[in-house]
Amino acid sequence: MDERFNRWLLPPLLALLFLLIVYQYVSPACPGAACPRRPPASAARRGGGPAEREEEEAAAAGAAEEEEAEAAAAAALPRLVAKFPFARGELCRRVRFDMRGRDVIVFLHIQKTGGTTFGRHLVRNIRLEQPCYCRAGQKKCACHRPGGDKDTWLFSRFSTGWSCGLHADWTELTSCVPAAMERRGCAGNRTLRNFYYITMLRDPVSRYLSEWKHVQRGATWKTSLHMCDGRSPTPDELPTCYEGDDWSGVSLQEFMDCSYNLANNRQVRMLADLSLVGCYNLTFMNESERNMILLQSAKNNLKNMAFFGLTEFQRKTQYLFERTFNLKFISPFTQFNVTRASNVDIGEDVRQRIEELNFLDVQLYEYAKDLFLQRFQYSKQEEHQKNRLKRREERRLLREQRAHQWPREEAAEVAVTEDYNSQVARW
């Protein structure tokens, strides 16, 4: 009897045990370690499963690598010891150049500063919606605004020619350019135009030697107008250093011995407002006062220009121009370290003599170089900071995206489990 009773009792017990085991796995409560579901989003962010931890570790490693790259890029910038204090607005140069409007770039071309090369970059090497039209065999190019407007956005030797005179200086350009644009028949009122002046500077000794070699080969600028206060200088105010058509074959000593040689301190004179010192009338004030005013005027005008570059820093010049005007060059600038000036072998006494003759240019170039390098460093640091913030924002958005994705996956898994449970209950 006991044997028969045990035989009938055993199958129900086994069936009950089986149901309990099945219920353990499919129950919505899903207790204990038997639950195969993904942990909640908060737990996943704290560690979660192995896949989530790997993703978090990879993201953290990527962020660390980016921070190291940024630190390396910042360290790669040469340490600059500023000589002159400049305000943030003087270092951050950004021009909202409206090529379709009435904005005009005016290039002040100082002799032997690499201005010819830079001028060609402006008409042939900028990526434009409507490129300058340059005919073969002609120096000048037509740089019209986009949209069929025949007005020009560039006032330079290679676009408008020497409209204000051969190698016109700051004094000439500022008084001549607006009227010259009107004479060209450019539409629009001059008061609506914005003129952005730019120029190139060069180490004074190298520039002086380059001009000497250029004059020695027979070049002259005797057709320059030198207009100031509405007139050109008289022969007494601006004598010539030679007789005849040119000064070809001149020796360096003869070139330096001419006290009224316009090569002396050319960069300061061409950037200063000459009307402040009586133009070319040397009797207007004493020499020391004249020099002080010329130098300060040249510094102020250079600092307030939209842009200036240095011949010795071609790539940095390209970078700052692109950042200033939001324009891109097609091909990178080339740094030529071997020039006619560099091939001239001079002694220390000759170099010192040239620096004495160009003592104003030496001071201006020191000022310009410091401002130029500070602007470059400021722009690079600003660029690094902008890129760092951009990547940080991208990482934040990615984390938020993952945080929203995991709860949706959890909800989908719960829905599948409950649907399965309802099917089991029906069965």
Pairing, β 154-155 against β 103-108: parallel
The one catalytic residue among 109, 121, 144, 167 = 167
167 is catalytic: yes
Q: What DSSP assignment string belongs to 135-155?
A: -TT-S-EE-BPTTS---BSEE
Backbone angles phi, psi at 20, to 5 degrees: -65, -40
Does an H or E element contain 369, and which? Answer: helix 359-426
Asked if residues 221 and 238 have their Cβ atoms less than 8 Å apart, the reply is: no
Nearest to 332 by CA among 320, 309, 315: 315
How far is the C-alpha of 70 from the C-alpha of 65, rounded, in Å? 9
How far is the C-alpha of 292 from the C-alpha of 29, rounded, in Å? 89
Nearest to 47 by CA among 414, 419, 406: 406
Tokens representing 376 are: 């470059």
How far is the C-alpha of 57 from the C-alpha of 404, rounded, in Å? 19
Pairing, β 154-155 against β 141-142: unpaired
Reported in sequence order, the residue ranges of 311-427 that DSSP labels E, i.e. its strands, are none
Instruction: Kindly list the distances between the CA atom of residue 101 and the CA atoms of 17, 65, 147, 153, 190, in Å, as whole numbers in the listed order.
Output: 86, 44, 11, 9, 12
Q: What DSSP assignment string belongs to 233-293?
A: PPTTTS--SSSSS--TT--HHHHHH-TT-TTTTHHHHHHS-GGGGTTT-TTSS-HHHHHHH
Looking up tokens 């984390």, which residue turns up? Answer: 399
Enzyme catalytic residues: 167
